[in-house]
């Protein structure tokens, strides 16, 4: 069966056809030159610009539907496209064009005493499955990242954004065709039936090499429960800023404010501030947060510093607010801070503000998170800010990829060994 | 509950205690110096030598039990220790001592335009679970590799080798103690109840970061079915040698013989030889195999070359014999060879013998296996032969680790970012 002509009510048959076509496309993409992949990206970016009106029309229908179904304004905003957001998608694809192609890179090479020359060479993973929710731009970002890294991709977006995603997908296909690459390099699951997600997680182990879920807690939990394929996980970001006794007050205040409030809805936003008992200006930091409109939930000491601080409950230490709320606690130095982070954190991103280099080194070494920072905001947790180009998310796993997941993290490697007739004794 | 005093009939309680202690040990090991880890390794190697008689006595009981239960002589041989094998274990641990410590290595570093200095630093995975079968030496190898890479390890050996493994484990503990490291850095599951394996695969997701299964098909299948934690998989090695039309006859013969017969029981042993229709001396290669005592199952052409060649069935192309049997087929050049390998291979190790550099490059690029070789035997598929030191196996996964799994493959990384007060605009 061909996925393009498949009966979309026959989910197993449909997903099987999609999987087989993805594997076939992956073997083509693994051998595709950088210039052909880039040509497809440039053409896709151009097609998105040209079809902006069509994409916005499809999006308007999605948005109307979402409003009719009473979805929250936050969800509608995530769904909404305008000319600026469509242009940003095109530019995002052009940024991916500009990235170095990781495929074929020799990561390491050495020669053995018997003359064998060994190279470790970067290769694509194969077929990547992306399961995402309402943001239609993921269709463009994920499609382009997978193409650049030589992987075939199976995209399964949220039902709310299905018309928008299909319209964007049509432009990606136009890009593939103009470069002579198979349509099935970037497939979108043509049904919003949730059974399709189950197939991607557990029924397509022969086809899918890795699944990347992008979404809220219920999706992540479903993935953890059901996945029979490797997953690059994106758990929540319960990020911390620790203000050491040695911190500069102005720097501490600026970093805490930025880490919490620059954007509250991203996974790198700080959710708890830990303040060293020896830091004398805790009141200044708390006041700055409150004055900026942030609710502060603190322990007794912090409540005594400002009447606007409300009591923190045990659950606050593990909550990812994604809002203008912060939990705040006085701790006894760097060791109590790292112990608190180990107990309550999600191993995403944590920062220490300190002038004391030893305290900083101890924090950076002991905190086992994907990203640890000294004297910088947690909001830098971002592939672009790291100089890695676009990303598909921030992995909180330790396995395979940790931190920002960009083109390089979507690859594997193989060993290429060249000899002159060597046999093993 | 403490694992050391746990009721071993209460599997959930026992495994929970083991898991919690492993996590606690992992946080110590992550901060342990190279010299302390090496001191523990050296002391463990010494203890194994000193306790050789005790280890052999425990092993003799295991072997007697295995014979009484009528286990195959191959299994008994895998189980059997003698002074030489015990000495090899000690030397293996000393080799791991001599390896560079991967932990703390800066894999990459760069500075952003805003002055942020970013380092990607190698860190341990955390807690590694090893599930293995009869070979007692895995206890020493896996324990030592995990210690060197800063991981706590939970070992679950086969019931046949339980007395031997516990005796070896006692020496590893002696090594840990002499270096002031916690006993729970290397734990061995003190029950042969198969329910313990189920817990390692699915009930300890809060404790175990990765499971490495070492064993036969039924173990691998159980792991694939049940695992809720990441797995470094070691599937079978259905390895191929392709003899191109351009191959040197002597080199082709030597490589095919070595790849098949040097040791037939290892995963890097060749199981199928594919011979280019244009290679004129196919008869020489087949005759050499037959003369060396290898059964050859071939297609019609090969049967016509030597009467001793028996017909190959379809199932022969996917069989890992691990014995002096080889499947043999005439193919039409490198593309038919790579297509055959893609269809029947296990993505482990494949070799091309060719004088034609273009044919070799095409093969090395197109074959998507962990290891691809040109003019060398597949039996080089080995961490030691690669110069990586000891290994825990050869991964046929593309995710995280591919090929030989040594100390470096038992690590993750984190990003350490140093700033001077940067906030994100």
pLDDT of B3 over the 70 cut: no
Q: Is B322 left (phi over 0), alpha (psi -120 to 50) or beta?
A: left
Residue B366 CB: number of other CB atoms within 10 A? 18
**pLDDT confidence bin for B2, thresholds 50/70/90:** low
Query: For residue A306, with 0-12 CB atoms within 10 Å meaning exposed, 13-18 middle and 19 or more buried, which class applies?
Result: middle
Question: How far apart, in Å, are the Cα atoms of B251 and each of A418, A422, B352?
Answer: 14, 9, 11
Rounded distance, CA A212 to CA A198, Å? 14
Q: Whole-angstrom distance between the N-terminal and C-terminal Cα of chain B? A: 50
The structural domain count of chain B equals 2
User: Two tokens at A347?
Assistant: 């191993």
pLDDT of B269 over the 50 cut: yes
Q: Do A399 and B209 touch (CB under 8 A)?
A: yes
Q: Do B423 and A364 touch (CB under 8 A)?
A: no
User: Two tokens at A285?
Assistant: 């930091």
CATH at A315: 3.40.309.10
Is the Cβ–Cβ distance between A310 and A295 less than 8 Å?
yes
Residue A362 CB: number of other CB atoms within 10 A? 20
Of residues B368, B398, B419, nearest to A374 (C-beta): B419
User: Two tokens at B216?
Assistant: 């036969």
Residue of A nearest to B254 (CA): A423
Sorted by sequence, the CB contacts under 8 Å of residue A89 that are 6+ apart come out as A48, A137, A140, A141, A168
pLDDT of A298 over the 60 cut: yes
A120-129, A389-398, B49-58, B309-318, range with the lowest pLDDT: A389-398
Mean per-residue pLDDT, B50-75: 94
Give pLDDT tens digits for A194-252: 899 999 999 999 999 999 998 877 888 888 889 989 999 877 899 999 999 999 999 99
- Please check whether residues B141 and B273 belong to one and the same domain: no
- Please check whether residues A156 and A138 belong to one and the same domain: yes
User: Two tokens at A85?
Assistant: 């957001």
In a domain, A421, yes or no: no
- Please check whether residues A160 and A73 belong to one and the same domain: yes
In a domain, B297, yes or no: yes
More confident residue, A328 or B1: A328
**pLDDT confidence bin for A391, thresholds 50/70/90:** confident
Mean per-residue pLDDT, A259-274: 95
CATH at B41: 3.40.605.10
What is the ipTM for the molecules in this complex? Answer: 0.94
Q: Do B386 and A228 touch (CB under 8 A)?
A: no
The label of the residue with tokens 């998989």 reads: B233
Geometric angle at alpha carbon B363, from B358 and B365, rounded to 5°:
95
In this predicted structure, what is the pLDDT of residue B309?
Answer: 98
Test mutation, B417, B420, B425, chain A, max A CBs within 10 A = B417
Mean per-residue pLDDT, B206-214: 93
Geometric angle at alpha carbon A196, from A192 and A201, rounded to 5°:
135
Mean per-residue pLDDT, B191-216: 92
Q: Do B224 and A228 touch (CB under 8 A)?
A: yes
In this predicted structure, what is the pLDDT of residue A4?
Answer: 58
Is the Cβ–Cβ distance between B232 and B210 less than 8 Å?
yes
pLDDT of B265 over the 90 cut: no
- Please check whether residues A254 and A228 belong to one and the same domain: no
For residue B399, list chain A residues with Cβ-Cβ distance below 8 A: 125, 209-210, 230, 399-400, 412
For residue A371, list chain B residues with Cβ-Cβ distance below 8 A: 414-415, 417
Alpha helices in B51-136 (DSSP H): 52-68, 73-79, 83-98
In a domain, A157, yes or no: yes
Residue A184 CB: number of other CB atoms within 10 A? 25
A181-185, A297-301, B158-162, B328-332, range with the lowest pLDDT: B158-162
Pairs of CB atoms within 8 A across A/B: 183
Mean per-residue pLDDT, A46-68: 97
Mean per-residue pLDDT, B191-211: 93
In a domain, B398, yes or no: no
Rounded distance, CA A129 to CA A141, Å? 13
- Please check whether residues B228 and B269 belong to one and the same domain: no
Rounded distance, CA B23 to CA B110, Å? 32
In a domain, A374, yes or no: yes
Give pLDDT tens digits for B359-400: 999 999 999 999 999 999 999 999 999 998 888 889 999 999
Sorted by sequence, the CB contacts under 8 Å of residue B26 that are 6+ apart come out as B124, B126, B127, B150, B151, B152
User: Two tokens at A89?
Assistant: 């998608």
Is the Cβ–Cβ distance between A65 and A111 less than 8 Å?
no
For residue B30, list chain A residues with Cβ-Cβ distance below 8 A: 368
Rounded distance, CA A116 to CA B173, Å? 38
- Please check whether residues A208 and A260 belong to one and the same domain: no
Rounded distance, CA A290 to CA A285, Å? 9
Q: Do A414 and B371 touch (CB under 8 A)?
A: yes
- Please check whether residues B249 and B226 belong to one and the same domain: no
**pLDDT confidence bin for A405, thresholds 50/70/90:** very high
Q: Do A370 and B210 touch (CB under 8 A)?
A: no
In this predicted structure, what is the pLDDT of residue B1?
Answer: 44
A118-122, B3-7, B407-411, range with the lowest pLDDT: B3-7
Selection from A414, A415, A404 nearest residue A99 by Cα: A404
Mean per-residue pLDDT, B187-209: 93
Beta bridge partners of A265: none
Q: Do B424 and A400 touch (CB under 8 A)?
A: no
DSSP secondary structure letter of residue B377: -
Alpha helices in A124-271 (DSSP H): 137-148, 162-178, 195-198, 217-226, 249-261
Residue of B nearest to A380 (CA): B424
In this predicted structure, what is the pLDDT of residue A75?
Answer: 84
In a domain, A393, yes or no: no
User: Two tokens at A194?
Assistant: 């949730």
Is the Cβ–Cβ distance between A391 and A406 less than 8 Å?
yes
Test mutation, A364, A414, A416, A425, chain B, max B CBs within 10 A = A414
Alpha carbon B256 to chain centroid, angstroms: 23
Q: Do B125 and A398 touch (CB under 8 A)?
A: yes
Pseudo-torsion of CA A21, A22, A28, A34, nearest 10°?
140
- Please check whether residues A266 and A228 belong to one and the same domain: no
pLDDT of A1 over the 50 cut: no
In this predicted structure, what is the pLDDT of residue A3?
Answer: 58
Selection from B132, B149, B122 nearest residue B26 by Cα: B149
Q: Do B377 and A422 touch (CB under 8 A)?
A: yes
Rounded distance, CA B206 to CA B12, Å? 13
pLDDT of B164 over the 90 cut: yes
The label of the residue with tokens 């319960």 reads: A238
Is the Cβ–Cβ distance between B134 and B65 less than 8 Å?
no
pLDDT of A390 over the 90 cut: no
Q: Do A371 and B418 touch (CB under 8 A)?
A: no
Is the Cβ–Cβ distance between B251 and B283 less than 8 Å?
no
Rounded distance, CA B53 to CA B63, Å? 15
Half-sphere exposure of B143 (CA within 13 A, CB side): 37
Q: Do A375 and B209 touch (CB under 8 A)?
A: no
A389 SS3 class:
coil
Q: Do B416 and A380 touch (CB under 8 A)?
A: no
Instruction: State which H helix or E strand residue B123 sits in.
Output: strand B117-124
Beta bridge partners of B118: B110, B417
Residue A68's domain comprises 3-232+405-416
- Please check whether residues B16 and B36 belong to one and the same domain: yes
- Please check whether residues A33 and A181 belong to one and the same domain: yes
Rounded distance, CA B248 to CA B253, Å? 9
The label of the residue with tokens 């210690």 reads: B147
Residue A380 CB: number of other CB atoms within 10 A? 26
Question: How far apart, in Å, are the Cα atoms of B222 and each of A324, B198, B209?
Answer: 47, 9, 18
Of residues A376, A413, A424, nearest to B419 (C-beta): A376
Of residues B373, B412, B418, nearest to A402 (C-beta): B412
In a domain, A399, yes or no: no
B122 SS3 class:
strand
Q: Do A413 and B402 touch (CB under 8 A)?
A: yes
Is the Cβ–Cβ distance between A272 and A312 less than 8 Å?
no
For residue B116, list chain A residues with Cβ-Cβ distance below 8 A: 376, 380, 385
Alpha helices in B262-420 (DSSP H): 282-291, 300-305, 333-344, 357-366
Rounded distance, CA B388 to CA B386, Å? 5
In a domain, B421, yes or no: no
Mean per-residue pLDDT, A289-312: 97
Q: Do A399 and B400 touch (CB under 8 A)?
A: yes
Rounded distance, CA B75 to CA A315, Å? 54
- Please check whether residues B184 and B208 belong to one and the same domain: yes
In this predicted structure, what is the pLDDT of residue A207?
Answer: 96
What pTM did the predictor assign? 0.93
Alpha carbon A74 to chain centroid, angstroms: 19
User: Two tokens at B105?
Assistant: 């290595």
Q: How far is A359 from chain B (nearest CA, A)?
A: 13
For residue A20, list chain B residues with Cβ-Cβ distance below 8 A: none
Test mutation, B399, B402, B416, chain A, max A CBs within 10 A = B399
Task: Characterize the bridge pairing of strands A210-214 and A127-132.
Answer: parallel
pLDDT of B74 over the 90 cut: no
Question: How far apart, in Å, are the Cα atoms of B174 and each of A254, B48, B55, B145?
Answer: 51, 9, 14, 16
- Please check whether residues B248 and B379 belong to one and the same domain: yes
């Amino acid at each position: 069966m061909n996925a393009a002509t498949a009966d979309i009510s026959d989910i197993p048959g449909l997903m099987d056809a999609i999987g087989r076509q993805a594997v076939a496309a992956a073997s083509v993409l693994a051998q595709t030159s950088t210039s052909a992949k880039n040509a497809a990206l440039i053409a896709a970016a151009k097609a998105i610009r040209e079809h902006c009106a069509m994409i916005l029309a499809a999006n308007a229908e999605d948005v109307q539907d979402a409003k009719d179904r009473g979805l929250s304004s936050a969800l509608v905003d995530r769904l909404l496209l305008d000319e600026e957001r469509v242009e940003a998608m095109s530019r995002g694809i052009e940024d991916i064009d500009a990235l170095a192609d990781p495929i074929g890179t020799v990561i390491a090479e050495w020669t053995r005493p018997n003359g064998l020359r060994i190279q470790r060479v970067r290769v694509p993973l194969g077929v990547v499955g992306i399961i995402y929710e309402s943001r239609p731009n993921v269709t463009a970002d994920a499609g382009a990242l997978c193409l650049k890294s030589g992987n075939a991709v199976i995209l399964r977006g949220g039902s709310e954004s299905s018309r928008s995603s299909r319209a964007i997908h049509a432009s990606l296909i136009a890009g593939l065709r103009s470069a002579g690459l198979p349509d099935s390099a970037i497939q979108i699951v043509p049904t919003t039936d949730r059974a399709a997600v189950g197939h991607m997680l557990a029924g397509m182990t022969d086809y899918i090499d890795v699944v990347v879920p992008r979404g809220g807690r219920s999706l992540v939990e479903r993935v953890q429960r059901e996945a029979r394929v490797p997953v690059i996980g994106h758990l929540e970001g319960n990020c911390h800023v620790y203000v050491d006794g040695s911190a500069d007050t102005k720097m501490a205040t600026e970093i805490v404010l930025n880490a919490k409030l620059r954007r509250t809805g991203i996974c790198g936003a700080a959710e708890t501030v830990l303040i060293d008992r020896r830091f004398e200006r805790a009141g200044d930091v708390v006041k700055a947060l409150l004055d900026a409109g942030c609710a502060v939930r603190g322990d007794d000491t912090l409540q005594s510093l400002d009447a606007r601080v409300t009591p923190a409950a045990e659950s606050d230490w593990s909550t990812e607010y994604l809002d203008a709320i912060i939990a705040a606690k006085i701790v006894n130095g760097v060791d109590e801070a790292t112990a608190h982070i180990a107990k309550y954190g999600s191993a995403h991103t944590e920062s220490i503000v300190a002038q004391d280099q030893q305290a900083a080194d101890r924090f950076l070494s002991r905190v086992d998170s994907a990203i640890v920072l000294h004297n910088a905001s947690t909001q830098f947790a971002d592939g672009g800010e790291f100089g890695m180009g676009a990303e598909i998310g921030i992995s909180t796993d330790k396995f395979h990829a940790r931190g920002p997941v960009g083109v390089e993290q979507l690859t594997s490697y193989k060993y290429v060994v060249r000899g002159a007739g060597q046999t093993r004794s």
